[in-house]
Every structure is written in C-alpha cells, then in structure tokens.
Amino acid sequence: MDEDLRDLYQEVILDHGKNPRNFRHPEDATCEAHGNNPLCGDRLTVYLKLGKDKVIEDAAFEGRGCAISVASASMMTDIVKGKTVAEAEELFDRFHKMCTGEDEGTGADELEDELEKLKVMSGVRQFPMRVKCATLAWHTMNAAAHGEQKATTE
Ligand code: ZN
C-alpha cells in the first residue's frame, strides 16, 4: 500500500468502517432513502427521525459498501443527530467542499467542531472516485430529509 493510500485509510476511517456507529433500522424513523454509488458498488439506506422544527432526533443506516462509504455513513449519522435539517445541509455543503479541496474546513463558527471531526475524510480529495464514496451517505441523508426515496452519486 503506498503512502497516499495509507493516509486515506487512516485509523479513524478503519475503526468506523469496521465498527460502524448507528448501523441499525430504527422502527420509529420518519423518513428513509436508498443511496447508490454505482462506480464503487456502495449501497446504503439512511433512516432519519425528524422531530419538531425539523430536528434530526435519530439517524441510522444499513447497507454495504467500501470502508470509506461505511465510515462516512457512520460519522455522518453521529454528527447530524441533534442538528436541524438546515444545519445538516450546511455541514454536507462544507464537507463536500472539503472533499473536493475547495474548503479546508477551517473558520470560526458553530459547526467547526463537527467539521474538524470530518477532516479525517478529506484525504479522499486525492482520489476523485473516492469522493463519491465519502459523500454517498450525505447525499442519501439529504434525500431522506426532503422526502425523496433515492439518491445516487451519478
Ligand atoms: Zn466506495
């Protein structure tokens, strides 16, 4: 494995990939969407429980995919819990920019702590194919929050 790839598969990613958080199907979920990344074969279902004022009270996922997609879904479900849909969208936007190298994820604001946690995924910017793996769960979460049932990276 070359050095770049070692950077990509950092310890945190491996840990989340092997022991994903929130890997379950909550029975009280209010919406769900199926995400598909045909380039890699990642398929995830994201479940959300939206409460009052569009607060994400619970977030979980099931499915299978590469370590990057599963790790990203694991981190995403942890991070969006307790946020509003609008905040989750803002995080998705910033995270996407981080993965494509448009945003370093720095800046003093209330989402900074969360963006800091997501930084471990930013190594994917060297591998454009992997950006889709890293963002699949976020696309799918976004679709679920807007009542759409399907999301694809294509
Ligand atoms: Zn993948």
CA distance 92 to 119: 13
12-25, pLDDT tens digit by residue?
888 999 999 999 99
Q: For residue 76, give the CATH number of its domain.
A: 3.90.1010.10
Tell me the CA–centroid distance for residue 126 and ligand 1, in Å. Answer: 14
Tell me the CA–centroid distance for residue 66 and ligand 1, in Å. Answer: 4
Residue 152 covered by a domain? no
Residue 120 covered by a domain? yes
Residue 126 covered by a domain? yes
Tell me the CA–centroid distance for residue 137 and ligand 1, in Å. Answer: 11
- The string of DSSP letters for 37-58 reads ETTTTEEEEEEEEE-GGGBEEE
Residue 80 covered by a domain? yes
Q: Give me the domain span that covers residue 8.
A: 3-147
- Domain total in the chain: 1
CA distance 30 to 12: 30
- The string of DSSP letters for 69-103 reads HHHHHHHHHHHHTTSBHHHHHHHHHHHHHHHHTS-
Residue 153 covered by a domain? no
25-60, pLDDT tens digit by residue?
999 999 999 999 999 999 999 999 999 999 999 999
